[in-house]
Chains A and B, each alone.
Chain A
């Protein structure tokens, strides 16, 4: 049965994804949930508690709240907390029970907005999806509320690039983000806004003035599409892994000049032979780019297995969307080696090596100290 797991974990959920995406944007995020989503996020999916200011709270939903539909408690509690803490905005993140009883979050947010005079919105998660969807929804919703019309009269200059899809869930080592900033600059681009780590929210509000967006993880896709749809900012989905950077920069430039969005994955030929290939399992933008780098360096055929939602448009010809541990186990049959989070080890076929690449959104903090700067990551032994 696809939904039954006996050996491997599941990915970070959508509620955590949404909280993670909004963490550094100066708002107050409230999970409307009894407890579970909050403790999961707080313990396993978030690593910035000591280092960064944030206001992420739990509503403490009770059975009576669910049965009676008494939203006033939530509204009152949120308004009182906002009055005490002065956030820049208020985000409500939905969980299974409010989803089940059909809580009218639009109305709740409207009332909160009226009472606090603060922008208030909700992220339509429900605890039943993965972090890509949750973070994607959060960034897209934030963008809809805050990204401004571009200012007129821009002078010609370097290509301005937004970086989309930055959360610790995919980039736990903060060095990766600073490396990305440096690499963009060194390649002649102007780093414009970083969604949503290590940047001033005011810069994100000006994302419409960029020439192009670089989507470095699937979590950034929804917001990138919003910028494309609303302001005509095209995007490229690719990660500048070591070994393919020139190709990524050239595609980024081409995307900016043509105005046509694309994904590196669609252009990838990762070798014909599937038997004995290197299989990469995980987030499609980073894993696809790492596959391209390995293939370019070694000529070894590669395949990418993607167990995450809302990734269909990012899958190239050598990519397969998979769901559930038994399907992944079957898909890995014949793999010569597997590059994946160490917690995939039980699914790796006998005789195949596992090249570990810990991923916070999968193994949580267990291998946190071993997570590398992905821009400098070169898998060993391949």
Chain B
């Protein structure tokens, strides 16, 4: 074995202070990594979407994975739990395939066999190669060249399930979202009154500020969730403007912008009024529309938050990054509106939240930041005093926004959402305020709900 000689380039912070080592007041955190990067505990909270959920958004598309048993099972069961097993197939890799160095052949023959046995040939197939393919130097180009020769009627999307690469590069999720955009090819025409919202997992609702602005100006909104066929999906390439709300979708969307030569707007799920206004202004500008008057929306959002505050009062609130992509932004928004935000669950800060981080560090330095994968968390389930301090006295009511916060606080009073459930802007804030009130009033069965995979997808569990 090898032991590293000399200093390690540090991926981790020095020894962590604070209660139990995995919960730190924001005033004492290091930017952008407040916690050491060490062994990980995976809490039984599975609402986030994985590559199977994401891929199943593609209409008529099947997924084929080429992988070893243990990793394979996770994706198989994901598809089965969402009742999509008919669109899921796989090729199991064995030791001999590695010893004999014929991973390309096994991959090609296995995928071909799956396709030949299907009662109907799908128009599109997402092929997922894995970490092993990287490390034995599989010629992925040869694999796809041969598959495309054998099945010229199928569009093969080049995907990876290679989490070993994700800490220094793109995640499998980012690569899958990019691959799903690859079938969108340049078209000789533009659908002038259509805007496509892509690269996201959750559907943008008609009530959102974005959709209202667009529909008010006579634009239709194209989303993958609304396409019933692969052919219809490909037509989205003719849209006049592309929008993505997700940072994870941005890598693929930038490639799409370059390929199609069409404008792209990144409209993240901002929580601050000024940022929302600025994003809506940019959208209007991109379509040569006047900037929207958001004053009435601001007022409505303020009213909704005030209404929620009246009910929730000074009840301690915890927010997690799984539920809300901008947890610090939400913590700031709620604090500004009089709520008591006590804890935010995240493992690293996002560059997009730097301003909110500085604001909270300055105005609310006691806000606790808790890791979600730190090993000590295994023994902290329900230990509210660790996450909330004095505010988390036993028996007192707490409110969680997001399933991981609900799990760690062991509360049934929580807003069960992932990626804001697709909600955006003022509309998102107004609806979230309503969900907070509902969660405050009614207890959910946390143990039953949070282990379910891919919140928003079908789950038979």
List residues of chain A with CB under 8 Å of any chain B CB.
1, 3-7, 9-16, 30, 34-45, 49-50, 53-55, 57-64, 66, 68-73, 77-78, 80-81, 84-85, 95-97, 100-101, 103-104, 107-108, 125-130, 343, 363-366, 368
Contacts and interface: CB of A to CB of B under 8 A. Distances in A.
Contact of B71 (A37, A45, A71, A129): A37
B80 A366 contact: yes
B90 A5 contact: yes
B38 A365 contact: no
Contact of B74 (A39, A71, A96): A39
Contact of A62 (B70, B72, B113, B164): B164
B375 interface: yes
Contacts of A366: 77, 80-81, 460-461
Contacts of B110: 1, 3-4
Contact of A9 (B2, B43, B77, B106): B77
Contacts of B89: 4-6
Interface string B185-229: 000000000000000000000000000000000000000000000
B321 to A, nearest CB: 17
Contacts of B161: 36
A101 B168 CA distance: 20
Given A1-B109, A62-B164, A97-B132, A126 B451 contact: no
Interface stretch (B92-100, B142-150, B291-299, B329-337): B92-100
Contacts of B4: 68, 70, 72-73
B132 A96 contact: yes
A364 B80 contact: yes
Nearest to A100: B135
Nearest to B70: A13
Contact of B163 (A35, A70, A77): A35
Contact of B77 (A44, A70, A125, A128): A44
B114 to A, nearest CB: 5
Contacts of A68: 2, 4
A6 to B, nearest CB: 5
Contacts of A59: 39-40
A113 to B, nearest CB: 14
Given A6-B118, A55-B375, A108-B1, A62 B167 contact: yes
A60 B73 contact: no
Nearest to A129: B69
B46 A69 contact: no
A4 B165 CA distance: 26
A104 B93 CA distance: 23
Contacts of B379: 53, 85
A34 B92 CA distance: 19
Nearest to A42: B42
Nearest to A60: B40
Contacts of A12: 70, 73
A44 B44 CA distance: 10
B451 A78 contact: no
17 contacts: A1-B109, A1-B110, A4-B113, A5-B114, A36-B71, A36-B161, A39-B42, A40-B71, A40-B77, A43-B44, A50-B44, A63-B165, A70-B2, A81-B375, A101-B135, A103-B1, A108-B1
Contacts of A40: 70-71, 73-74, 77
Given A43-B77, A97-B164, A38 B42 contact: yes
A10 B72 contact: yes
B13 interface: no
B115 to A, nearest CB: 9
Interface string B142-180: 000000000000000000010111111000000000000
The residue in B74, B89, B135, B461 that gathers the most chain A C-beta atoms within 10 A of its C-beta is B74
Interface string B432-461: 000000000000000100010100000011
B76 A9 contact: yes
A53 B118 CA distance: 44
Given A66-B164, A70-B4, A103-B1, A43 B453 contact: yes
Given A35-B166, A101-B135, A60 B81 contact: no
A371 to B, nearest CB: 13
A282 B50 CA distance: 29
Contacts of B43: 49
Given A10-B76, A58-B42, A62-B167, 11 more contacts: A1-B113, A13-B68, A13-B73, A40-B73, A43-B451, A44-B77, A58-B40, A64-B168, A85-B378, A85-B379, A364-B81
Contact of B44 (A42, A101, A125): A42
A61 B168 CA distance: 12
Contacts of A126: 68, 95
B131 interface: yes
A313 B379 CA distance: 41
A7 B94 CA distance: 19
A84 B376 contact: yes
Nearest to A68: B2
A15 B93 contact: no
A97 B39 CA distance: 17
A56 to B, nearest CB: 8
Contacts of A35: 163-164, 166
Contacts of A54: 378
B161 to A, nearest CB: 7
Interface in B78-107: 80-81, 85-86, 89-95, 98, 106
Counting chain A CB atoms within 10 Å of each CB, the highest count among B114, B117, B168, B375 belongs to: B375
A368 B134 CA distance: 36
B139 interface: no
B136 interface: yes
Contacts of A60: 37-40, 167
Nearest to B110: A4
B91 A4 contact: yes
A12 to B, nearest CB: 6
A9 B69 CA distance: 10
Contacts of B376: 84-85
Contacts of B85: 7, 9
Nearest to A107: B1
Given A3-B91, A71-B3, A128-B94, A57 B69 contact: no
Closest 9 CB pairs of A and B: A13-B70, A40-B74, A36-B71, A35-B163, A127-B70, A34-B164, A104-B1, A13-B69, A1-B113
B132 A57 contact: no
A5 B67 CA distance: 12
B41 interface: yes
B27 interface: no
B272 interface: no
Given A57-B41, A66-B164, A128-B95, A44 B132 contact: no
Nearest to B134: A63
A375 B71 CA distance: 32
Contacts of B39: 30, 57-60, 77-78, 81
A15 B80 contact: no
Contact of B135 (A14, A66, A69): A66
Contacts of B67: 36
Residue from A4, A39, A42, A66 having most chain B Cβ neighbours under 10 A: A4
